[in-house]
Amino acid sequence: MNLFGGIQLSNICGIYIPKHEAMDRWIWNKNDTGTLSCKSAYNFIKEKQGNSAPLGMNCIPKIKTFAWKLIWKRIPTSSYFAKFNGGDINKCPVCMNGEDSQNHLFFYCSFAISYWNTVENVFGINFEQFSEWKEGNWMLEGKKYGKEDGNKLNGFIGDSLWHLWKNRNRVFFDKKRFGVNTILSKAFADVSSPPKWVSDKEDKTVRMHGDLVSVFPIDKEQVGIYCDAAWFNNLENAGLGVLIKNHEGKSIAEFSSSKILSSALNAELWAIWKGLLLAKDLNIEGAAVYSDCQTAIKILKRLLNDPWFLNELVNGIWRIAELMGIKDWYHLRREKNKPADSLAKLGMQGVEFLNVFLQIIV
């Protein structure tokens, strides 16, 4: 009598029997290594759930980690530490009224309330209607916009909470603070393309800057000067790239050049200098300057001291910026500054040009 047959018999015969003595062990067949990993388990669960999977967050990993801590109430405020050491709970450093706790900081502080009211005015999203979102269930809100736009909304909320936390720390340690519009611009700048919950709103404060979507309610007519440099140790020439756009994201001018420079920071500052000179020639005043070099932006915002050998260049940038009424210096992530980066790489290859689109200026 045959106990097994067909497929069962084939599977049994297909079992590999080692020629030497070996212990049986567990094998994870969802990756090539045979060893269980968090990444492969997550991908397996995500694939198995399909469309019913919970929404993610369209943001960088450190903000996802921050959101995880926030959901589990692990944000290191003074009320959190008081649970362990029994110390006093300080007042909220932002409003100096409520206690320095997670719920107060993000939802009940007068500054946070002002921020969420601004979000509602710009995007029409009223978070108060979602009773559980303050308990960490705010990721459920994005579901009605579909997976892609829902992930963007969750990412925007996570970015907003992250920048509110950075603002708290800035007030606590440096006695300085960001404005509501600044935080809104920073949070929304990480959204890669216009989602449905923005495109449905006919609000002129929401504008496209090329592939960068940003919110600038302060000045609706502000021009953007995007600067970048390409520099390598083994090459003599540094490439300088500048792209100037109006508030609608249309190009006003583009510039590519090369110059022998001693360091990457030197090249980035030279690109900004060239961008200001070009804007001055076009009679552009009160523009905003963008660069993906965080050190250069911090120097120009007087948050860092410039190296002695760049002192003359930095002072020159400040002088021309004062003449042109330029006060806004913004750090841009590298992937958001690709057009200027492409121009800089052309300059490094020896391609130099200046294009001015006069019809845009008139």
Structural domain contains residue 330: yes
Same domain as 103, residue 229:
no
CA distances from 107 to 135, 151, 254 (A): 10, 21, 43
CA angle 136, 141, 142 (to 5 degrees): 120
Res 214: pLDDT: 34
Q: Are 165 and 111 in contact (CB under 8 A)?
A: no
Structural domain contains residue 248: yes
Same domain as 168, residue 273:
no
Same domain as 301, residue 194:
no
Residue 130 domain boundaries: 55-212
Q: Which residue among 212, 232, 260 closes a domain?
A: 212
CA distances from 322 to 318, 330, 343 (A): 6, 16, 26
Total count of domains within the chain: 2
- Give the integer Cα–Cα distance in Å for 221 and 288: 11
pLDDT tens for each residue of the chain, 362 residues long? 467 667 777 777 877 777 777 677 788 888 888 888 888 887 887 677 554 444 567 777 888 888 888 878 888 888 888 888 777 778 898 888 888 888 888 888 888 888 888 887 777 776 665 545 555 555 555 556 666 777 777 788 888 889 899 999 988 888 877 777 778 777 776 665 556 555 444 443 333 222 223 333 333 357 899 999 998 765 667 899 999 988 777 888 888 988 888 888 999 999 999 999 988 888 888 889 999 998 999 999 888 888 888 889 999 999 999 998 888 899 888 888 888 998 998 888 888 888 877 443 33
Structural domain contains residue 349: yes
Same domain as 240, residue 286:
yes
Same domain as 240, residue 357:
yes
Same domain as 175, residue 301:
no
Structural domain contains residue 42: no
CATH number, domain containing residue 251: 3.30.420.10
Q: Which residue among 212, 246, 272 closes a domain?
A: 212
Q: Are 27 and 34 in contact (CB under 8 A)?
A: yes
Same domain as 262, residue 345:
yes
Same domain as 79, residue 59:
yes
